[in-house]
Structure 1
């Protein structure tokens, strides 16, 4: 079977981590041949793929245009399918903006489409809300016309998506932490000066639904009420992405984008994994924190509960007071911290690990190929 793995639409965020993890497993399936279309953000994998005798790589960035959105037309990718006699296509995450001329499985990670009651939308004015609705309906339409089967990262997402796409076969294959977390010898150190207080780590791209602008408000609340908490937030945004007043400079460290090899070092130097997100289908930060033995503070929303269960302490993501109270509980209740960490280790068994995830995807590709 000749398989095209399509990552041409991935630029930032969790999709990069998922694609990286999946591609590192493909050498184990020597009975199949893989053509991997790498986006520029994943072009660093080109050298690794060259060492796999069953894989070929092509670097290409798909552009959003009318032909792609409404008809799924892309001449470049069609030519790749023809050149390599591709049998099936797997797009890591859609919308793919491309309807292959062969069977197509597409990953789904658009929480905006299924969590319509999220406070993310409640924060918008009516103009932005209407614009968002139109944009997301266009993406939903693209999923409909470009894919045969869909893969979600949780059963909660699958169940909700099934109500929108009733004629599609939808399967669940969960996310996990990247394999690098199991290879300590490959970790890269990130030099952060020691801090006599609580360090909260947020590894995230600069998406509005991540709600990272709540962080300065948390510090303002602490200052206003003279709360005895010495906090430092470490965030993987650049200074251009998050404009800070001078008073926050030593309390919010903006370290910019980091590669996956550096993430374990950041967790090692943190006390808490902090994720105030308003929308997710899955976040690798959850299993990463569980693997690294760090307590999780995250939003009291249904997607977070479905992914973390009893392995997190939850807060109202729009309330600085609620967030501060959760941090205080973590700070004073060491038994709670131990329970959260232990529950995290147990919760990891709920997810598909990297090898299991890849195996499930390959089996689905085989199934759709045999049913063509």
Structure 2
């Protein structure tokens, strides 16, 4: 059986989705019962290309990261169409989707855009009027492209229900496979690196507006008011991101830049080092499907303060402290409680390890996806 993995739209700046594509592609090398083919973006190739040197031009094909509407898009579209005709795959799995390409072969999309499936008033509030219009039109276009797929893979029941509502596909054509801890972390040294001077808090993710990282300056000021003056938040905001102006620069202006350590875009190995230095985790997101940061924090036993949303509770349940979204004062109170109370910290850690058992095995995760892909390819679904 031939399955073509499509990651042509996987971009470095897309954060979790980029890592998910890389992890899935690498894991496929261990499963020779399927004849895998790959069309990957240059961004993906820069990270894992050397592991596919023997397959390049045969099973592994690299293209300029798409969509690149002002440059290579039409050329790449034609080349991919020719390649599809030559390979004649039984199925195409678009691990980052929609990829802005359509195929004659039956396609399964991995779809995890909460803006299309379950947005809320908090996430919409982060946009200006003009941006809301732009985002609304973007979502309309996404919905249109989704209808080209035969089936979908997603991470939660909430998202599954949204996909069914948008596309009208039957329930069996949307497979839920929970997010899982990336395999790479299990091969790394995760022992804590202690710091007696600072309370280090991980706040990890791509700097999209709905991630709400711009709450950090207000939170730091609120913590100061509550007598907590030695916190340092560790972020991964790319240096060219507009979010720098909302997070880092405001603290520099008031002489509080020491409370932020922004590492920029990092590899999984570098991310491991950040988590090892932290004692807690902050998840201020206003909209999510299933954040990788949540699982990673549990894996490193970092007690969490997170926004009070169902998508967080589905994963964390009662293993963390929740605060009112966009309320920095409430988030500060939760951190004051957590930092001061060792008993609560230990209770959270025990509960997190119980939750992590559901999300800790990447091999089971991969096999569940592969099984579904094979069933779709065989016409069983």
Match of 2:222 in 1: 221
Aligned to 1:197: 198
Distance 1:352 1:122, change over 3 A: same
- State the shift of 1:328 in Å: 0.6
Report the count of equivalent residues: 363
Q: Deviations over 1:22-64 (max 9, x none)?
A: 12211222121111122122112111234689x8321112225
- Answer with 237-246 or 26-35: which moved more: 237-246
Structure 2 CA distance, aligned partners of 1:62 and 1:157?
A: 25
Structure 1 portions without partners, runs of 5+? none
Structure-2 change in CA distance of 1:321 and 1:334 (3 Å): same
Corresponding residue to 1:178 among 179, 182, 203: 182
CA distance in 2, matches of 1:270, 1:290: 12
Q: Could you tell me which residue of structure 1 aligns to residue 103 of structure 2?
A: 100
Match of 1:131, SS state, is helix
Within-5 A mapping of 1:120-269 = 120-145=123-148, 147-168=149-170, 169-184=173-188, 194=195, 196-223=197-224, 225=225, 227-241=227-241, 242-243=244-245, 244-245=249-250, 246=252, 247-269=255-277
CA distance in 2, matches of 1:126, 1:239: 26
| Contact kept in structure 2, 1:5 and 1:34, CA below 8 Å | yes
- Cα displacement (A) at 1:262: 2.0
**Aligned partner (choices 45, 51, 59) of residue 62 of structure 2:** 59
Given the two structures, how large is their TM-score scaled by the length of structure 2? 0.88
CA shift, 1:150, in A, is: 0.7
Give the drift of 1:7.
Answer: 0.8
1:118 touches 1:278 (CA, 8 Å); kept in 2? no
- Bigger mean CA deviation after superposition, 80-89 or 330-339: 80-89
Q: CA deviation at 1:20?
A: 1.8
Tell me the distance in 1 between the aligned counterparts of 2:343 and 2:92: 48
Q: Which residue of 2 aligns with 1:303?
A: 311
Q: Which portions of structure 1, spanning 4 or more consecutive aligned residues, are displaced by more than 4 angstroms?
A: 192-195
Instruction: Name the CA shift for 1:228/1:15 in 2 (closer, same or farther; >3 Å).
Output: closer
Matches within 5 A, 1:356-367: 356-367=364-375
Mapped contact 1:236–1:257 kept (Cα < 8 A): yes
Tell me the residue number matched to 2:17: 15
Note the C-alpha offset of 1:115.
Answer: 2.2
Native 8 Å contact 2:177 2:365 kept in 1: yes
Q: Distance in 1 between matches of 2:8 and 2:268?
A: 19
2:272 is the alignment partner of 1:271: no
Q: Secondary structure in 2 aligned to 1:130?
A: helix
Match of 1:350 among 336, 358, 372: 358
Equivalence for 1:321: 329
Give 1:312's aligned residue: 320
Taking a change above 3 Å as real, the CA distance of residues 287 and 222 of structure 1, as seen in their structure-2 partners, is closer
Structure-2 change in CA distance of 1:352 and 1:334 (3 Å): closer
